[in-house]
Amino acid sequence: MSRILRGLVIALTVCLGGPAISAAATPPQASECAACHGANGMGNQASGFPALAGLPSAYLQAQLAAFKNHERGNAIMGGMATPLTGPDMAALGDYYAALPVPAGPVPPALPAGPGADLAQRGDWQAGLADGIPSCDSCHGPGGAGVGAQFPRLAGQPAVYLAAQLNGWRDGTRKTGPLGLMSAIAHRLSPAQISAVAAYYAALPANTANGAKP
Ligand code: HEC
Ligand code: HEC
């Protein structure tokens, strides 16, 4: 066998014998989480449980740590996160981050109105210093999420999205980089919160099927 060929065979053997390049292993707690967040990690619209599938692992881990130390106050998730260790949170974060987000369905008419305006253009009526930047400028077009910092909003339950914005306003959710969301939430009126929450809830979590919000 030529040297090159032998090299190839060794490389192939190493590849096949190496760690599986598949989705993260299912952590033992996931069956419990599935009761509310769904077996596919897509949450439950009717009950307002958020989807976790496809969110960045670092973001998910930070949320679990915040629930555990009560920097993000929620009775249900505080209880769920308390027994989790750092490695448990890492395994759960990796697991949910790797779950695929199903495409569509495309809404028959993409929502228009004050929620869409705020999401796409922001609100600068209060002037430059006190204005609200468009949500999509950080969360990505259609609220699809950007990188490890800016979670997806599209397709999350409206009641969940509104609760988060109110949580930053009333201090039950204290966390997040640079206080960005706290500052933004404090500038939103109750009417803006319900409009923008309804807007993102109506968008498909995965627009791979061609939906153009
Ligand atoms: C009994 C229902 C229930 C169970 C079981 C449950 N959760 Fe939750 N989860 C919730 C609710 C409700 C929220 C929203 C909390 C809030 O409003 O801050 C949430 C929020 C979260 C969030 C924040 C998502 C985001 O976008 O910021 C993460 C992460 C999470 N849960 C992970 C888990 C994991 C991991 C498990 C299993 C160990 C689990 N949950 C089990 C109900 C549940
Ligand atoms: C300057 C950047 C920026 C802008 C603009 C922005 N966000 Fe955010 N948003 C963030 C960051 C960063 C986070 C993650 C916070 C964390 O890590 O806890 C976040 C998180 C959120 C969450 C929580 C999602 C979840 O899964 O729990 C909601 C809801 C949200 N933003 C809504 C909005 C809305 C509505 C607007 C427009 C009015 C908006 N954001 C504009 C940066 C931004």
Q: What is the pLDDT of residue 208?
A: 65
The ranges of the chain with pLDDT < 70 are 1-24, 106, 208-213
Domain boundaries, the chain: 23-98, 114-202
Q: What is the CATH number of domain 114-202?
A: 1.10.760.10
CA–CA distances in Å: residue 123 to residues 48, 137, 173: 27, 12, 23
Q: In angstroms, what is the span from residue 22 Cα to ligand 1's centroid? A: 25
28-67 tens-digit pLDDT: 999 999 999 999 999 999 999 999 999 999 999 999 999 9
Q: What is the pLDDT of residue 131?
A: 94
- Backbone φ and ψ of 82, nearest 5°: -55, -45
Identical fold for domains 23-98 and 114-202, yes or no, is yes
Looking at domain 23-98, its CATH architecture is Orthogonal Bundle (1.10)
**Helix, strand or coil, per DSSP, at residue 44:** strand
Task: Determine the atom of ligand 2 nearest the C-alpha atom of 118.
Answer: 38
Of the listed ligands, the closest to the CA of 93 is: 1
Nearest CA to ligand 1 atom 5: 33
- Backbone φ and ψ of 123, nearest 5°: -140, 110
Does pTM top 0.85 for this prediction?
yes
Q: What is the pLDDT of residue 129?
A: 87
